[in-house]
Amino acid sequence: MSDIRITKVSAIETCPQGSNLIVVRIDTNQPGLYGYGCATYTQRHKAVVTAIEEYMDQLLQGRDAMDINDNWSVMMNSSYWRNGPVLNNAISGCDMALWDIAGKALGVPVWQLWGGKVREAVPVYRHSDGTDFDRLDEVISRYLEEGYQYIRIQYGGYGRSGKAVFLKTPEGSKEGAYFDPKRYLRSVPALFEHVRSRFGDEIELLHDVHERLNPIDAVWLARQLEQYRPFFLEDALSPEDGFWFKKIREACATPLAMGELFNNPMEWQPLIENRWIDYIRCHVSQIGGVTPARKLAAYCEPFGVKTAWHGPGDVSPIGHMANVHLDLTTTNFGIQEWCGMEQDPRVQEVFQGMSEIHDGFAWANDKPGWGIEIDLKAAAKYPCDSSQPHWLLARLPDGTSVKA
């Protein structure tokens, strides 16, 4: 038992870069000792804020901040219904904040609490996208010059195939982000063919299907891409179609990454124990924080599955730093997705001490905890926005609303 008692759990809402970011702050009875954790669920952020301030606050107040394992179990089990995105994000924010507090209380970075680094820095991949090959080549060339070795290639957005084209839709069709899966299917092998012939074999290439294909089309695409030796094909299927990974596995040797939408251990268990995927890439706040993420990484190791935690713009700098600490301490680490938000002056105004990139590698700092401070006044300058992003209103050419 420690003397460190939780006195308050609150949510910081901020949107410096266009994505709603939610960060939990846990205060303690020790002067100046508090922690931050990522609870970002951009698309339903108010629901998470309510879960934090109306439930986690009263649940955790007075509890020992150093009892992280017990606090996590109480948060997960006490709602009876569990493993949904809203509560998992709220729990994650508290979980990461408690690790931050533990590091600060003991005067060490969190990676040190987890047994130390197994690598000095973390290789990352960047996103390149273009509606034509010239634009795409420009972006890839810039990343290669900056020292990156791993590049995700997309062709005009998820499910898209270059420049916008006329899609035959029924008269009166509703507004939405229309895409044609058949055109997309034809365009991706051509995309890989172009980039391989332009940039050669040394560069590692990744691609994100973003769950936009029928299962049998995903099997076809994975087979087509095998010849281009992708580093991995990401989210070729939706979580609901998970058992189709077996079919892809049997059809080709294209490396497969999956998991940013996973909430529940039962979603990843069969994929891992059957060795149907190569990389697990959960959104760490979505599965309840770094405590379950470490268990998941350990579960994957004997099955030969590596980690590739989700690292998009709708993860706060605290969440990105937590990813880096996980990566630094996980033997079966694979790669880290990187969105580069630390380069944005508005984000720098709110968050100080973010992970830095040098020559294609992400580094943690040596400060206690996560080593990040938040300027609360600056955070308040960038209010969150509850409107729905257009790109998530995905529709097929006949007007059907589908998974985004």
- Residue number of the CB atom closest to Mg ion: 208
Helix, strand or coil, per DSSP, at residue 282: coil
Pairwise CA distance, residues 265 & 82, whole Å: 11
Q: Which H or E element spans position 153?
A: strand 150-154
The closest alpha carbon to 36, from 344, 379, 317, belongs to 317
> Of the candidates 110, 68, 135, 120, which has an alpha carbon nearest to the alpha carbon of residue 291?
68
Catalytic residue among 210, 310, 320, 325: 210
Question: Is 130 or 313 the residue whose CB approaches Mg ion more closely?
Answer: 313
Tokens coding 230? 């992708």
Q: List phi, psi (to 5°) of 315.
A: -130, 135
- 31: which 2 tokens? 């002067």
Contact between residue 9 and residue 53 where contact means Cβ atoms under 8 Å apart:
yes
Could you confirm whether 143 is annotated as catalytic?
no
Identify the active-site residue in 158, 178, 228, 382. Answer: 158
154 and 129 in contact (C-beta within 8 Å)? yes
The Cα 249–Cα 243 span in angstroms is 10
CB of 150 to Mg ion, least distance (A): 14
Distance CA 96, CA 26 (A): 10
**Length of the chain counted residue by residue:** 404
At closest approach, how far in Å is the CB of 260 from Mg ion?
5
Of 25 and 283, CB closest to Mg ion = 283
Binding site for Mg ion (CB under 5 A): 208
On whether the CB atoms of residues 330 and 297 are closer than 8 A, the answer is yes
Phi, psi of 25 (to 5 degrees): -120, 125
DSSP per-residue string spanning 72-121: HHHHHHTTSS---HHHHHHHHHHHHHHHHHHHHHHTSBHHHHTT--SSSS
- In the complex with Mg ion, the residue whose CB is nearer, 27 or 211, is 211
- How distant, in Å, are the alpha carbons of 25, 218, 403 from that of 334? 30, 23, 27
- Specify whether 210 is catalytic: yes
Closer by beta carbon to Mg ion, 14 or else 88:
88
Query: Quick one: 17 or 61, whose CB is closer to Mg ion?
Result: 17
Beta-carbon count within 10 A of 113 CB: 17
Compute the least distance from the CB of residue 45 to Mg ion, in Å: 19
Q: By C-beta, is 97 or 287 nearer to Mg ion?
A: 287
Nearer to Mg ion, 208 or 327 (CB): 208
**Catalytic residue positions?**
158, 210
